[in-house]
Amino acid sequence: MTTDLATVLYGTRILPVLTVPSAASAPPLAEALAAGGARCAEVTFRTPEAERALKAMTAHGGLTVGAGTVLTAEQAERAVAAGARFVVSPGFDAAVIARCRELAVPVVPGVATATELMRALRAGLDTVKLFPAAPLGGTTILKALAAPFPQVRFVPTGGIDPALLPDYLSHPAVLAVGGSWMATTSHLERRAYGEIRRLTAEAVERSTR
């Protein structure tokens, strides 16, 4: 079954981005995120344990889990084989998009410019990750890019200050906001699952106000 990404991301409008050093931390991590009110999560392909972590997060059952930092078609294949229900990329790569399409899995490419956005539109996509959102100009660039592309939905990610969540989410073009602040590598190394749950709950609360 293909995930309706818009429905999943619109549920809480928060997408925790995870870099999991050890798959052993995946079950308590999934539990902490779900208990905090998250409904989805993105496991980045930045560690050798990413596929195992993705599988374990999926097995929890309470989250729709996707893959992030997918840079190649081969990684997209591995991500889907590990159970990814959606694929996120930091940039626009035609081969990644084509393979996701063949696999019938929603794909969200990263864009930083109007040209990249036009490429995504030409590829038939209408949901993009604005990345890296904060260094690019935050809500200022979001508004500027959204204006000529009213059909596009954005998932701003990258350096997001959680205090600014309401500012991002109040823009009608924003589907959801992604970020790693709710569950960082440091949290995972310290097994700070209570803190992960608290930060997730805080973000969910800010996103639904």
Q: Where does this chain bind ligand 3PG (CB under 6 A)? A: 17, 44, 68-69, 90, 157-160, 178-181
Is 55 designated active site?
no
Q: Which of 42, 49, 51, 77 is catalytic?
A: 42
E strand or H helix that includes residue 205:
helix 193-208
Q: Which of 49, 51, 77, 129 is catalytic?
A: 129
* Residue in this structure with the two tokens 């902490």, named with its chain if needed: 32
* Residue in this structure with the two tokens 């996120």, named with its chain if needed: 88
Nearer to ligand 3PG, 26 or 43 (CB): 43
Smallest gap from residue 100 Cβ to ligand 3PG (A)? 17
Amino acid at 95: A
135: three-class secondary structure by DSSP: helix
Is 129 designated active site?
yes
Smallest gap from residue 140 Cβ to ligand 3PG (A)? 17
Cα separation of 130 and 109, whole Å? Answer: 9
Smallest gap from residue 158 Cβ to ligand 3PG (A)? 4
* Residue 8 burial (C-beta neighbours within 10 Å; 0-12, 13-18, 19+): buried
Residues serving a catalytic function are: 42, 129
